[in-house]
């Protein structure tokens, strides 16, 4: 390597005024790439950060920006138009006055209507979730749609795959959409039995080798977990398909929360899957067949609204709904999240609620599966605790629950972490419930977690080298975590 650099340097010295040419090339590179970045009209701090980084790393910086830089996917208008033709929305009643603003905000930012559910079941941990999922899969008669971030070729993944194979052999249409990065450890041959049985498998944003002129979607992942069975039953939440989330197989499995749904809200989750499948595969002719198995509309007693967000929309809908819900709180805000790396708006909302005397609590893992994220999260603790936020660190298992409770009637449960990646880069899905029964059940669940979550004290030990410096450095990387 050193010999090659020496040869290149010697060759460069053969040209007169080579320093001038290098300088002009560097200036041209900055003007061209800087103009590209500035015209995207991003946040000033982010724009300046990229410009400084690109100036310090000529040409290499361009490669980094090309692969990991901010990107938008212009698919929203097309996808909404093409799916709603076959899947008309199910309109539900507007909730109580205090929640109407949240519901209107959700509809305006996602394009999905206020709907209802007839049955909502909270599923704690993988064991209960996989049991319920397998039971519904094995009774499917028409279609099974699945979308996951992580699908592992382990014991848990094999059991579900074999159940899908059995249904596909009996004429049930099975479509499985997996994120190409999250499920990268799962070999394609693992799904050969499903394909042989007539099932379909697609990959979200696979690496595009041989098309270097197109920006790769390496940084834009589908973090969604959606299952829709016969248009009647749906699942969503934080649980992937992996032994890492199956406490019956691993004592250190993640602590997590999932939701099983019945009712008109299933139609919205079906629409989200259809749009993602059409986008990933480039096909649309299947949409009309999906509509033929959708059950008739049947309003239920529970106000349930599907929330989606991703880099195909400028609104950061799930982020806005979290912040809006916090601002609407009158009594309490309880937030459980595995990755807590908040932006300025969220920090302001949480601290303002606490300063106003509300019961504001944050539940995070004592140590997440990313030490860097753990340090970044802790860097925000002091300011929040000073405002009156009570913070609890769950352990010894990794807390993976993503839920927020506001007052006695608003609950948000889904796939989105409380960080910039989930709010801006990932494709996410969550459920907004306006219902006192669901809120009470979530409150009991979170309150029970506090027993395994010691409270973080304001005057915690903070040695320079092991606490303060790592937290400060991790916080610098917060926008990209």
Among residues 145, 205, 223, 258, the one annotated as catalytic is 223
Give the integer Cα–Cα distance in Å for 335 and 418: 9
Give the integer Cα–Cα distance in Å for 334 and 192: 44
Among residues 136, 244, 407, 435, the one annotated as catalytic is 407
Q: Are 163 and 134 in contact (CB under 8 A)?
A: yes
**CB-neighbour burial class of residue 206 (10 A; exposed 0-12, middle 13-18, buried 19+):** middle
How far lies 82's CA from each of 176, 204, 313, 441, in Å? 20, 19, 17, 37
Among residues 179, 230, 244, 419, the one annotated as catalytic is 230
Who's near 393: CB < 8 A, 6+ residues apart? 364, 365, 366, 453, 454, 456
| DSSP result, 272-336 | HHHHHHHHHH---TTHHHHHHTPPPP---SEEEEEEEE-TT-SS-HHHHHHHHHHHH-SSEEEEE
Determine the 3-state secondary structure of 7 from DSSP: helix
Who's near 160: CB < 8 A, 6+ residues apart? 130, 133, 134, 137, 241
Among residues 225, 258, 319, 322, the one annotated as catalytic is 225
Q: Are 84 and 95 in contact (CB under 8 A)?
A: no
Q: What is the CA radius of gyration of the chain?
A: 24
Q: Indicate if 142 belongs to the active site.
A: no
Q: Indicate if 256 belongs to the active site.
A: no
Among residues 145, 400, 409, 419, the one annotated as catalytic is 400
Among residues 402, 409, 419, 435, the one annotated as catalytic is 402
Q: Are 169 and 139 in contact (CB under 8 A)?
A: no
How far lies 357's CA from each of 84, 330, 350, 380, in Å? 44, 9, 11, 19
Give the integer Cα–Cα distance in Å for 111 and 120: 22
Q: Indicate if 402 belongs to the active site.
A: yes
Q: Indicate if 74 belongs to the active site.
A: no
Give the integer Cα–Cα distance in Å for 66 and 293: 42
Who's near 132: CB < 8 A, 6+ residues apart? 121, 123, 235, 260
Q: Indicate if 407 belongs to the active site.
A: yes
Q: Which helix (H) or strand (E) holds 116?
A: strand 115-117
Q: Indicate if 230 belongs to the active site.
A: yes
Give the closest residue to 390 by CA, choosing from 444, 454, 324: 454
Other Cβ atoms within 10 Å of 220 Cβ, number? 21
Catalytic residue numbers? 223, 225, 230, 400, 402, 407
């Amino acid at each position: 390597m050193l010999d090659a650099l020496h040869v290149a340097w010697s060759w460069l010295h053969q040209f007169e005024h080579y320093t001038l040419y290098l300088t002009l090339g560097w200036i041209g590179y900055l003007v061209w790439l800087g103009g590209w970045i500035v015209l995207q009209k991003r946040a000033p701090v982010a724009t300046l950060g990229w410009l400084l980084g690109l100036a310090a790393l000529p040409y290499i910086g361009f490669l980094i920006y090309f692969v990991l830089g901010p990107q938008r996917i212009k698919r929203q208008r097309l996808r909404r138009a093409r799916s709603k033709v076959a899947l008309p929305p199910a309109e539900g009643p507007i909730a109580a006055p205090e929640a109407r603003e949240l519901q209107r905000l959700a509809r305006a930012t996602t394009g999905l209507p206020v709907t209802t559910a007839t049955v909502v079941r909270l599923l704690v941990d993988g064991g209960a979730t996989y049991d319920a999922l397998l039971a519904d899969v094995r009774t499917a008669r028409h279609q099974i749609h699945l979308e996951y971030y992580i699908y592992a070729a382990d014991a848990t993944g094999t059991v579900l795959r074999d159940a899908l194979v059995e249904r596909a052999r009996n004429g049930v249409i099975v479509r499985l959409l997996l994120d190409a990065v999250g499920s990268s450890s799962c070999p394609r041959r693992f799904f050969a039995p499903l394909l042989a049985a007539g099932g379909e498998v697609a990959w979200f944003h696979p690496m595009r080798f041989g098309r270097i002129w197109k920006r790769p979607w390496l940084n834009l992942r589908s973090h969604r977990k959606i299952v829709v069975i016969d248009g009647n039953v749906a699942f969503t939440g934080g649980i992937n398909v992996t032994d890492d989330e199956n406490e019956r197989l691993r004592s250190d499995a993640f602590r997590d929360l999932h939701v099983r749904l019945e009712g008109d809200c299933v139609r919205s989750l079906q629409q989200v899957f259809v749009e993602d499948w059409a986008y990933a595969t480039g096909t649309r002719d299947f949409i009309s067949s999906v509509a033929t198995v959708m059950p008739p509309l049947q309003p239920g007693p529970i106000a349930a609204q599907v929330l989606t967000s991703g880099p195909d929309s400028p609104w950061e809908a799930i982020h806005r709904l979290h912040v809006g819900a916090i601002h609407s709180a009158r009594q309490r805000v309880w937030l459980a999240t595995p990755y807590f790396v908040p932006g300025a708006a969220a920090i302001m909302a949480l601290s303002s609620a606490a300063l106003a005397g509300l019961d504001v609590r944050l539940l995070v893992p004592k140590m997440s599966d990313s030490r860097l994220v753990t340090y970044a999260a802790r860097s925000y603790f002091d300011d929040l605790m000073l405002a009156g936020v009570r913070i609890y660190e769950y352990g010894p298992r990794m807390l993976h629950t993503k839920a927020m409770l506001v007052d006695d009637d608003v609950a948000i449960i889904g796939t989105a972490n409380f960080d910039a990646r989930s709010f801006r880069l990932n494709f996410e899905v969550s459920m907004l419930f306006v219902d006192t029964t669901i809120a009470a059940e979530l409150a009991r669940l979170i309150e029970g977690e506090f027993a395994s979550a010691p409270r973080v004290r304001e005057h915690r030990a903070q040695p320079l080298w092991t606490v303060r410096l790592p937290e400060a450095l991790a916080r610098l990387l917060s926008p990209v975590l």
